[in-house]
Amino acid sequence: QPGLGKNRRFTPPDKSNEGPWNPGKSIVNSMGGSAQKGGKENEYNFLKVDENGIPDERYQTLDPRMVEIIESEILESRHRIVWNDIAGLESAKKTINELITLPLKRPDIFKGIRAPPKGVLLFGPPGTGKTMIGKAIASETNFTFFNISASALTSKWVGEGEKLVKTLFKLSVIHQPSVIFIDEIDSLLCSRSDNENEAGRKIKTEFMVHLGGAGTDDDDKVLIIGATNRPFELDDAIRRRLEKRLYIPLPCMEGRRQFIERIIETETENMKVDINTQRIEEIATSTKGYSGADLKSLFKESAMIPIRELMSNHSIEDVSADALRPVVAEDILNSMKFTPPSVNQDDLSRYLDWNKKFGSYQ
């Protein structure tokens, strides 16, 4: 029997033994098409048939193929991100904690006027941790996390986007409490109409209906988080429905320092690094304007320098890992010339302007 629906039953993810988040295995990447999903086919599935195959009636009206796509590509259970994994952004984290995390944890206290918003927009330059924040909210609250990239909806599942969105919202109610994280929400819900085709319009309408609260009750615990690097392109109606709009800025000096320390601590296994606290401070000062993602690229580039040096007169097969010299602060500072920050001053002013006009927190 082909239908998954009747025989599927939701088993909450066992998050107790999970290791740190591994971006290489992220569903977002697999959906964006730029990176491969790692591991076995069913690695992210947590809609399991229990051993007795107890039917769940709620699936009866859902398209099994859509459920399958969502289970394998949109539902995430692997990675646990805690607030501490996110460097800097102290004020954003505090706001989110008060506004979303605490109310989700204690709905009995945060009722009525204290109830959390149903829709939140995280906006700001690319690579600043918006996706990480979405994941942290889900894992701090133990909510089911649906992670969808809007561009995948229009490119990867051409012609099925509308059905997928419909199923996604239904599943989010079945598996509540849940978070639906929509990356690149601008590409789906932009105000430009010139490049809109029929399929795009239908997806947009479907989203609007759900963002407006149709299909969910007031008591349903489904939080929609949209993330965008291009808030200026959002449709007015969407903007209004994502009632809290929070600016996620580039990291400040302290954020950069924390992030650099973290890269050295967690991402330089099996390689030598010789950068002391004072030099970390110096790098943090020099990299004003770099996003978290930019800093990571900078370190990646710098980590190649000792290898390139040795390879100038050895072939890689003959190079012993021990012979590689440590990565030093100069490598990072020199690499800045070749890996500049990705966000320029004009972009930053646009974000600040938009925040002034539409942001919920100044």
Stretch that binds ligand ADP, among 122-130, 171-179, 191-199, 351-359 (CB under 6 A): 122-130
User: Can residue 249 be called a binding residue for ligand ADP (CB under 6 A)?
Assistant: no
Rule CB under 6 A: is residue 86 a binding residue for ligand ADP?
yes
CA atoms within 13 Å, Cβ hemisphere of 309 = 11
Cα–Cα dist 155/212, whole Å: 25
Do strands 273-274 and 327-328 pair parallel, antiparallel, or not at all (unpaired)?
Answer: parallel
Is 253 strand, coil or helix?
A: helix
Exactly one of 64, 107, 126, 289 binds ligand ADP (CB under 6 A); that residue is 126
Kindly state the helix (H) or strand (E) to which residue 333 belongs, with its residue range: helix 329-335
Q: Which is nearer to ligand ADP, 196 or 267 (CB)?
A: 267
User: Which region among 71-79, 80-88, 166-174, 305-313 touches ligand ADP (by CB under 6 A)?
Assistant: 80-88
Give the contact letters, 250-279, x = binds to ligand ADP (CB under 6 A), - = no.
-x-------x--------------------
Please name which of 176, 194, 192, 189 lies closest in space to residue 107, comparing C-alpha atoms: 176
| H helices, E strands: number in the chain | 16, 8
CB of 23: closest distance to ligand ADP in angstroms?
4
Residue 312 CA to residue 359 CA, distance in Å, equals 52
Residue 130 in the binding site for ligand ADP (CB under 6 A): yes
Q: Which is nearer to ligand ADP, 128 or 154 (CB)?
A: 128
Q: Which of 49, 209, 273, 293 binds ligand ADP (CB under 6 A)?
A: 293
Q: How far is the CB of 62 from ligand ADP (least distance, A)?
A: 29
The verdict on 296 binding ligand ADP (CB under 6 A) reads: yes
How wide is the angle at C-alpha 208 spanned by C-alphas 47 and 231, nearest 5°?
100
Write the Ramachandran bin of 33: left for phi over 0, alpha for psi from -120 to 50, otherwise beta: left
Determine the interface stretch with ligand ADP among 9-17, 82-90, 232-240, 324-332 (rule: CB under 6 A). Answer: 82-90
Per the DSSP assignment, residues forming a β-bridge with 245 are 121
Q: What are phi and psi of 81, to 5 degrees?
A: -120, 130
What 8-state DSSP symbol labels residue 6?
A: G
> Quick check: bond before 340 cis, omega within 30?
no
CB of 256 to ligand ADP, least distance (A): 9
The reply to whether 179 sits near ligand ADP by the rule CB under 6 A is no
Among 13, 129, 200, 359, binds ligand ADP (CB under 6 A): 129
CB of 132 to ligand ADP, least distance (A): 4
- Least distance to ligand ADP, CB of residue 64, Å: 31
**126-159 burial, b if ≥16 CB within 10 A, otherwise e?**
bbbbbbbbbbbbbbbbebbbbbbbbbbbbebbee
Among 20, 23, 39, 340, binds ligand ADP (CB under 6 A): 23
Q: Which of residues 215-234 bind ligand ADP (CB under 6 A)?
A: 227
Q: What is the C-alpha to C-alpha distance for residues 189 and 152, in angstroms, rounded to an integer?
A: 13
Binding site for ligand ADP (CB under 6 A): 23, 86-89, 126-132, 227, 251, 259, 292-293, 296
